[in-house]
Copies of this chain bind each other. A is one copy, B any other.
Amino acid sequence: MYMEVPFYDLDPMNVVWHGNYVKYLEASRCDMLSKIGYTYTDMMNEGIAYPLATMDLKFIKSARFSQKLKIVTTLIEYEPALIIRYEIFDAKSDELIFKAKSMQICIDAKTGESIYSAPVKFVEQLEKYE
């Protein structure tokens, strides 16, 4: 996914405030799920959700106003948990500026109980996608 750093994400050091990267990760994850063909909307319709369990962030370089970023999102594992790796590069120089890894656990949206197998439709879409 490509994006451009908006002004409202900057802090007094004139760089992206560190917490805003979490938004970029989510946007990129939604973009990947949309390409796979299994979106947040599909999850809601099936009565499941994938809340975040852990997230590790590594800040390597600062991103600046109107900088073009490339976010590479890689699905590492989908059972028993969804593990995704993220790398954010400067879109021009390909310099790595940020890395992250997240783990999400599938739950029943009503009861909150964990489900350790991925939804059938998700697996079907993943098999087509790979």
Q: A residues touching B (Cβ–Cβ < 8 Å)?
A: 6-8, 10-14, 17-19, 22-23, 26-27, 30, 34, 39-41, 49, 51-59, 62, 65-66, 109
Contacts and interface: CB of A to CB of B under 8 A. Distances in A.
A19 B8 contact: yes
Contacts of A65: 12, 40-41
B7 A10 contact: no
Contact of A55 (B10, B12, B18): B18
Contacts of A58: 53-54
Contact of A66 (B8, B41, B52): B41
A2 B18 CA distance: 22
Contacts of A56: 54-57
